[in-house]
Amino acid sequence: MTSTPSTPAEGSSGGWTLTGRHVLGVVVGFFAIIIALNIWFLTLAYRTFPGQVSDTPFEDGLAFNQRLAAQAAQARLGWEAAAAADSRGPWVELSDAEGGPLRGLTVTGRLERPATEAGHRLLTFRETSPGRYEAPADGLTGAWDLSFRAVDPQGRAFEGRRRLTWP
């Protein structure tokens, strides 16, 4: 007698079969996970950055043309500036279009931390040598952003920004 392999009868299932309900469940589950993750990411983004870039956006927009005019006037002056930091504080060297030192300017400035709103320092520079202006500021470490404004006796102004680093 020979044995014949047994096969399932016609129409009966020999194991698990993928049906339309399974596919529907997978598709619905996939999109439910995507939507839940999107809602979670949107919530995190909204809580960490509300979208406000300026406290006075309307006023900033009105002053934009004035800022462009001031930048054009500064470019016509041809003045150059160099700034650095040493153990006594920041210094700025200003020269005219021919490279000569600019003397007798009123130079003011502000030091700000690049990553925080805390710790601003207002500076008043004094001329220590022709064209070189220094501001005493002790106890500085790390990176600071220097914003300065130099005005000559005729009212012509030069503004600059530099990132300075102290050890």
For 54-87, write each residue's pLDDT tens digit.
Answer: 888 888 888 898 889 888 988 898 999 999 988 8
The percent of residues in the chain predicted with pLDDT above 70, rounded, is 91
What are residue 126's phi and psi, to 5 degrees? -125, 150
**Which one is predicted more confidently, 1 or 73?**
73
The conformation of residue 9, written as its DSSP 8-state character, comes to: P
DSSP H or E segment with residue 95: strand 89-95
**Which one is predicted more confidently, 152 or 30?**
30
Alpha carbon distance 35, 27 (integer Å)? 12
pTM of the model: 0.61
Q: What pLDDT is stored for residue 127 in this prediction?
A: 93
- On the question of pLDDT at 121 being above 60, the answer is yes
Residues 6+ apart with CB under 8 A from 134: 88, 89, 90, 91, 92, 125, 126, 128
For residues 146-162, one letter each, b for 16 or more C-beta atoms within 10 angstroms of the residue's C-beta and e for the rest, the string is bebebebeeeebbebeb
From residue 3, alpha-carbon distances to 6, 27, 50, 71 in Å are 9, 45, 77, 98
Residues 6+ apart with CB under 8 A from 147: 109, 110, 112, 159, 160, 161
Question: Mind giving me the DSSP string for 53-84?
Answer: --S-HHHHHHTHHHHHHHHHHHHHHT-EEEEE
Q: Which SS3 state, helix, strand or coil, does residue 161 take?
A: strand
Residue 154, amino acid: Q
Domains identified in the chain and CATH numbers = 79-166 (2.60.40.10)
The average pLDDT across 18-43 equals 96
